Structure 1
Amino acid sequence: MPDDISAYITHLTKGFSLQETAFSLFQAAVETELPAVLWRLPNTQHIQVLVSKKTQNTLPPLEGPTKGFAFHPFQVSETSPVKFLPADIYFCGKADEKIDVSATEFPERFWAHFQKRSQKQNAQSLQTWPQHPIGSVSAIQRDVFEQTVATAVNAMQAGCLEKVVLSRTKTLPLFEGFDLLQAFLQLTNLYPTAFVSLVAIPGIGTWLGATPEVLVQIDRHHVFRTVALAGTQPITEGLTPADAIWRQKEIEEQSLVQRYIISCFKHLRLRDYVEMGPRTIAAGNLLHLKTEYSAAMEEVGFPNLGTQMLELLHPTSAVGGMPKAAALKMINELEQHNRRYYSGFLGPVQIGQETNLFVNLRCAEVGKDTVTAYAGAGMTADSNPAKEWQETELKMQTVLRLFQASES
């Protein structure tokens, strides 16, 4: 490996587009069994990439100085541990920006594969990617899901809890010629306002997604942000967010998420925050209700507010329920699958002096020959099992529309 790594990389990527450079780094990492991630932040154009020598099983403080990418499950388990990918190699995907290599003694095999990729000008697609060691989860049939919803509704009508989010899965075979990187690129084009990501971690698996939901953000000015996002309805022809009419069920569901965030602020005794909303937003083929919260961390005297709120927020009532303990207990009793990293959270930490964590929604786990999508719906005492099934179908289409050739 040359002493001047930046000059070496510049030489290898001469004539590359920014996208080709990012994809080549990701491909070289996957081919040499190193953890890697591609992502594109909402309302931006550039694709970012990060490669690690190895993962860590704990998250650093969100306020810095450690840089990397967080990948956290819904519930931590032996098969779904916390993963943090240090930014050993990072490229922001912008013109005139160099690839940042912070690790010493990076594996020679990585540079060998990267050099091969540069010589092929990104001509070949990925043939393999990391698999989960226990394989794909079982698909949930409609009658089983609807019976589960009915059980939850009966419990809420009896006053056992206010809300619970129940999820299901759907598995399709991968069609011949499936291209993982092209699927990622399609998602970036289809959903410009979403956080689009492709995470590949040996021993954990490969996850592709386009999530609309912010969990915790800390910008370079040390402003903390989070959102309450709940309520769902499909976008129909001629319907705009300004024209949306919401049922009482969705309004109450959103209100529960708002109250939970405010309860977290109260727990920390934080009084000075800004609340904006709720308002209707479009996310792909769906409409949601969204309320935004922010606080200037230094001004309010909470320099570690992001880390503190993350501990309180996850899992939010938008993916678990209210009260939290009762909802999680019901999820563990009723759901027949392990959510793994669905409804966990993911995102860059202190990259570009900012932290952007998102709830891992509208996502799918890509196996060797199959893809498994996950989706959930918020249940209240007024929920209708058939409508909740349809809501999960709509949510799954965010990602599964890329795989519909699999069903033909």
Structure 2
Amino acid sequence: MGTSDYRQLKWPAAAAGLSSLARLSHLAAGALRTGRPLAIWREPGAAQPRLLVARSLEATFTGLPPALDAQAPAGFAFFPFRESDLNPALFLPADVLFDAAQAELVAVAPAARDLVPALSAWLAAAPLEHLAWHYATPTVPHAATEAEYKELVRVGVAAIENKEVVKVVSSRAARRPLPAGFDPLAAFIDLEQKYPQGFVSLVSAPGVGTWLGATPEVLAEVTADGTFHTMALAATQPLTAEFMPRTAIWRQKEIEEQALVARYIVNCFKQLRLREYQETGPRTVVAGELLHLRTDFEVSLKHVPFPSLGTDMLRLLHPTSAVGGMPKAAAMDFLQKHEGYDRAYYSGFLGPVNVAAPGVARLYVNLRCLQVRADEAILYAGTGLTVDSDPEREWEETQMKLQTIAAVL
């Protein structure tokens, strides 16, 4: 796990018959029963999920995005689109870690050693059938009607025509009733199977609530071999028998939309006076039942004397033009005035830092996500607007994106 100073607890003999997923569920139940925040995630292409439990919400770090370097604390970042008292930026310390690929062990951080007696007793206890997930405050975001969303698109296009913004990304929330007996962890497992190349996550914290998602978009990644990676992901069309990655045809509007996101990333490199980056794309990629245009950017940190590049780029990138718009300040101001609801953690970012190994971080844009409430789910989707955007097509695009996550309902 990259946590050599952690204490490794072994499951007792009584748990010998439990599968790795049953053990994960048992640990999650213990964390939720004691009111602790947790994150469960599965990396793209990985076979098994991981679980992280923070000792308490008070122990989380808030404010600035996490540092992406080997000396930074290990933990899980969960940041909103726009930070506020209702939607704080969280970094959950990796006090307790469980990797389902190494299901016989549970790791406890040095700072959380006092948890060992209670945790050891919990590992030996009988599993609970019900998990008490955290729910957020009762404030429910406004769910735009079709007419309201199309009007938002028209206002956005007018702002582009008037040169108030170059691009803006509009979004909306939708409410769906939960089916009887809905289990967020079972839904997480379902998403894992549906989207093997997505970053699938389930985060639950007091006051913040429970969020479930499967996102295709990397925001900032630092790999074990010393490579910084980000991507420009934009433009959307359905995956069909006729239109697949090799045969997809993109309209000028979609090509321009994706190019603006790529240009935004290049401008971030320019602000840091960095020219030694590799750009690959754009190319058509599959994300669930959708196609997107994607350009990848990589920097070899071994060949560029820039140890803080990952941290600096993260702070420049968020929120990217793929979720906000360009110029950043003008687009954020437009959304504040016209979008009509609080995005909360939708289009923020999330992911593990220094959990897999020191210096390894993988942060993703929180797309294709929903918030679980007591009896309903709040789903989110957005579209990038350019001067050529058509309100009807933008509405249909949000409908397609909502289906990605709605499938688990």
* Shorter-chain TM band: over 0.9
- Describe the superposition over 1:353-384 as per-residue Cα deviations: whole angstroms up to 9, x where unpaired: 22000000000000111100011000111101
For 2:82 and 2:12, how far apart are their aligned partners in 1?
42
Q: Deviation of residue 299 (structure 1)? A: 1.6
Select the residue among 360, 381, 398 that pairs with 1:392. Answer: 398
Give the equivalent residue in structure 2 for 1:347.
351
- Describe the superposition over 1:239-266 as per-residue Cα deviations: whole angstroms up to 9, x where unpaired: 3211000000000001000100000001
Q: Does the 8 A contact of 2:234 with 2:294 survive in 1?
A: yes
Using structure 2 for the length normalisation, give the TM-score: 0.93
For 1:7 and 1:193, how far apart are their aligned partners in 2?
31
Q: Deviation of residue 337 (structure 1)? A: 0.8
For 1:228 and 1:341, how far apart are their aligned partners in 2?
20
Q: Deviation of residue 115 (structure 1)? A: 3.8
SS of the residue 1:64 aligns to: coil
For 1:338 and 1:366, how far apart are their aligned partners in 2?
16
For 1:251 and 1:143, how far apart are their aligned partners in 2?
27
Give the equivalent residue in structure 2 for 1:362.
368
Give the equivalent residue in structure 2 for 1:46.
48
SS of the residue 1:301 aligns to: coil
Give the equivalent residue in structure 1 for 2:163.
159
Select the residue among 30, 33, 40 that pairs with 2:32. Answer: 30
Q: Please, which runs of 5 or more residues in structure 1 have no aligned partner?
A: 404-408
Select the residue among 20, 23, 31 that pairs with 1:21. Answer: 23
Give the equivalent residue in structure 1 for 2:3.
none
Give the equivalent residue in structure 1 for 2:212.
208
In the TM superposition, structure 1's runs of 4+ consecutive aligned residues that sit over 6 Å from their partners are none
For 2:158 and 2:9, how far apart are their aligned partners in 1?
65
Q: Does the 8 A contact of 2:351 with 2:364 survive in 1?
A: yes
Q: Please, which runs of 5 or more residues in structure 2 have no aligned partner?
A: 1-5
Number of positions where the alignment pairs a residue of Structure 1 with one of Structure 2: 395
- Describe the superposition over 1:271-305 as per-residue Cα deviations: whole angstroms up to 9, x where unpaired: 11111111000001100000101111132111111
Q: Does the 8 A contact of 1:31 with 1:113 survive in 2?
A: no
Q: Kindly tell me: are residues 218 and 272 of structure 1, through their superposed partners in 2, closer, same or farther at Cα, counting changes over 3 Å?
A: same
Aligned-residue identity in percent: 45
For 2:138 and 2:257, how far apart are their aligned partners in 1?
35
Q: Deviation of residue 179 (structure 1)? A: 1.5
Q: Kindly tell me: are residues 222 and 249 of structure 1, through their superposed partners in 2, closer, same or farther at Cα, counting changes over 3 Å?
A: same
For 1:360 and 1:96, how far apart are their aligned partners in 2?
28
Counterpart code for 2:184:
L
Using structure 1 for the length normalisation, give the TM-score: 0.93
SS of the residue 1:140 aligns to: coil
SS of the residue 1:160 aligns to: coil
SS of the residue 1:176 aligns to: coil
Q: Deviation of residue 5 (structure 1)? A: 6.8
SS of the residue 1:94 aligns to: helix
Give the equivalent residue in structure 1 for 2:62.
57
Task: State yes or no: 1:179 paired with 2:187.
Answer: no
Give the equivalent residue in structure 2 for 1:287.
291
Q: Does the 8 A contact of 1:40 with 1:196 survive in 2?
A: yes
Q: Does the 8 A contact of 2:264 with 2:321 survive in 1?
A: yes
Task: State yes or no: 1:302 paired with 2:319.
Answer: no
Give the equivalent residue in structure 1 for 2:100.
93
For 1:7 and 1:107, how far apart are their aligned partners in 2?
8
